[in-house]
Structure 1
């Protein structure tokens, strides 16, 4: 059973999501909150596997809430609920460790898939929004020439060993550590060590940043 908490300041959105998720026996909505502060209070007594998190909310928005949850409860997965005009916010929450994002007008199957994907330690990025986020990343990095120029990104990619590049290839396919381990005939712990080493070499914080980096600088 995948335990889910829904966080959105609009009650009609929360009710709609609860109705969709109630049709799936493998998912249980164990709580809801209208802002980040309510969520943090709820997490004192409830332990979800996945949080569906809105970005724009009063009192405490989804950006700040994501940052706190990822530090305090690192095992909890967070899927961001977003609209097309929230590019810069999406970039921020991905940097803080969000495990994926979906558009609020996504169909029910995509919403369910996003929850299952995050729960399985994979990441689901809406392709249309991903392009906008990458464009935003390009714009930001263009202003920071030392970190932004393409040759530096390529140099960091080339610093990876062949085995590490094989791991990044699997990550780009959205595979979990367990799936990567099976494909490479190694233990899951070995894969985790590879991922940690890759993040260190590329000077990145988490898997979300890694995917964006690979999409920009990878072959």
Structure 2
């Protein structure tokens, strides 16, 4: 059973999500909050595995709340609920360690898939959200020239072994460690080791940064 908390300032959205999630016997909604402050109080009493988090909320928004959760409860997975017009928020959420981004109008299968993917240690970004992330990154002032950055990335990529490149390609397709292990005929533990080495070599901290980092290369 997956214990989950929903955080959204609109009651109708919370009720809709609860209704969708109730169709799956593996999901157990143990609480809800209308803003980050309420969630902070809830987390003193509840221990969810996953939080579905709205971005725009009064009192304490989803970005600030994600930062708080990741700093104080690193084991909890945070999946951001977003709309098409929240580019800046999307980038900030990834910076603070969000484990996934799904659109508010996503179907039950995609929502449940994103929850399970996050718990497996992977990240699921809706393709349209990925588009927004890349656009937000590209719009940020560059510290160095694009050419120099690409050269640096190219050098780091050369440190990856052919097998690690295979793993990266599967990660870019949004596959979980389990799915990658089945595709490459290795154990899930072996895949986890590959992922750790890849993150270390490319000097990124998580799979989200990896996807963004390699978007133009793989």
Does TM-score exceed 0.5, indicating one fold?
yes
2:80 is matched with: 80
Distance in 2 (CA, whole Å) between partners of 1:116 and 1:192 is: 17
Q: CA RMSD in A?
A: 2.1
Query: Are the aligned partners of 1:97 and 1:207 in contact in 2 as well (CA < 8 Å)?
Result: no
3-state SS, counterpart of residue 169 of structure 2: helix
**TM-score for the superposition, normalised by structure 1:** 0.88
Q: Tell me whether 159-168 or 96-105 shows the greater mean CA deviation.
A: 159-168
1:145 is matched with: 144
Q: Tell me whether 164-173 or 3-12 shows the greater mean CA deviation.
A: 164-173
Distance in 2 (CA, whole Å) between partners of 1:195 and 1:108 is: 29
1:179 is matched with: 179
Q: Tell me whether 187-196 or 48-57 shows the greater mean CA deviation.
A: 187-196
3-state SS, counterpart of residue 24 of structure 1: coil
1:39 is matched with: 39
Report matched runs for 1:119-158 at 5 Å.
119-140=119-140, 143-145=142-144, 149-158=149-158
Alpha-carbon offset, residue 122 of structure 1: 2.8
1:110 is matched with: 110
Which segments of 5 or more consecutive residues in structure 1 lack a partner in the other structure?
A: none
The alignment of Structure 1 onto Structure 2 pairs a total of residues equal to 217
Moved over 6 A (4+): none
Alpha-carbon offset, residue 139 of structure 1: 2.1
Distance in 2 (CA, whole Å) between partners of 1:110 and 1:190 is: 27
3-state SS, counterpart of residue 84 of structure 1: coil
Alpha-carbon distance change, 7 to 137 in structure 1, aligned in 2, over 3 angstroms: same
**TM-score for the superposition, normalised by structure 2:** 0.88
